[in-house]
Structure 1
């Protein structure tokens, strides 16, 4: 009985792979060649995996949930933060724990009107625990300390900001999970005060040392003066330029008005992360 063409091709391919393996084992290869070869092998593996799925009459599920997947852990920690009650930043008291937090604006300043009294934070961040911390007490008061630093910075900018206009959420988490959660929060909300948004950053600066006095003044300190160590620094952008960039950002960004909108966006992000073959680089949390 004649062998089917497909089986003949498969045997030829297997033979070629064995010949390639022997050639690699017998002769030394340079690091450049090794890199190119590994790339080619990876592409061939992907092609064979795709072919295997096409041949198999039983299809793969659309999604696969792995609770140990770091990206998903980040999703759930971030989601747990949003589920916390908001509290006045000015009334914050000391508490144990490291983790993630979000700060919200509730005032009447025109600059921040698009996000005022919404579920879109003006800033999100993380507080890393003490080294090798296993318990909340061992983590220290890192989360409360970080929020208190921001409270003090806002308080010093009293000519343009009122600490009574700010609320926060905070969530202490098991050591090691705060970074992934912070990344998800930044991608989802694109907070205007975060460095990653590249517009009105600088609230997180702790002051310049004597060796770095020539640093430019941050956009945050330009619009919200009050921290004495930043007074003498040169402005990188004018206040009008920064305000224009802020207005453009709010016009283009997704503003989450309600917690329901936030939860829906998180659910959509988790569904995308669960999809088999999903590329982590393509994962973007959005309301769409």
Structure 2
């Protein structure tokens, strides 16, 4: 058997798929805003965004950005259903999305310099075959919005690494927002708090110059 290589024969492209992702993002941006955690527990997995609306503090510039419309999330994430990574079709029977938002609420409440009242969320439930889009939609939203806590201040979505693994560095998020007990056990970060604050300042300069 003889082999040859032509890269073009390995590249997948679908205009229909691009339009489908655009449709999901349009739907996502039209979903109702909720407090965190949402008013009611609910079934399902999917994609979500957090918005900062506070008038004071490190992220006060978000107040003006989101004052008339919730146009810039501070964080975007996903919650996948049980069995998703093993390739099982997901149903609405799990509560993974609500639980993820509830976990984020606890992280914000634990932080010494954040107020959960300054945060709102929106989310989109993807179930059955549509659950295959969860990771794709999350990545598309992150690329489009470049949320601060995804792209500049990393670590908000981290979990307790567990005993024996606290030698890893404390995240940038936990450096700015100390309070999570498990994060305090992690090693000192290599990036100083002043450098992280400069990165945050530079991030907001991008909005002020538009």
| TM-score normalized with structure 2 length | 0.83
1:241 is paired with a residue of what secondary structure?
A: helix
Q: How does 1:1-288 map to 2 (within 5 A)?
A: 29=2, 34-35=4-5, 38-39=6-7, 42=8, 66-67=15-16, 69=17, 71-116=18-63, 118=66, 119-131=71-83, 132-137=88-93, 140-157=94-111, 159-173=112-126, 174-194=130-150, 197=151, 199-233=152-186, 234-252=188-206
CA distance in 1, matches of 2:106, 2:22: 30
Cα RMSD for the two superposed structures: 2.4
Larger Rg: 1
Structure 2 runs not aligned, ≥5 long? none
CA distance in 1, matches of 2:124, 2:193: 34
**CA-to-aligned-CA distance 1:61-84 (integer Å, 9 cap, x gap):** xxxx954x1x33222212211101
**CA-to-aligned-CA distance 1:219-249 (integer Å, 9 cap, x gap):** 1000101101111321222211101001112
Q: How far did 1:184 drift?
A: 1.4
Task: Find the counterpart in structure 2 of residue 46 from structure 1.
Answer: none
| Greater helix fraction, Structure 1 or Structure 2 | 1
Runs of 4+ aligned structure 1 residues displaced above 4 Å come to: none
**CA-to-aligned-CA distance 1:196-230 (integer Å, 9 cap, x gap):** x1x21111111122232111110100010110111
Structure 1 runs not aligned, ≥5 long? 1-27, 44-64, 256-286
Q: How many residues align?
A: 193
Contact kept? 1:77, 1:177, Cα under 8 Å? no
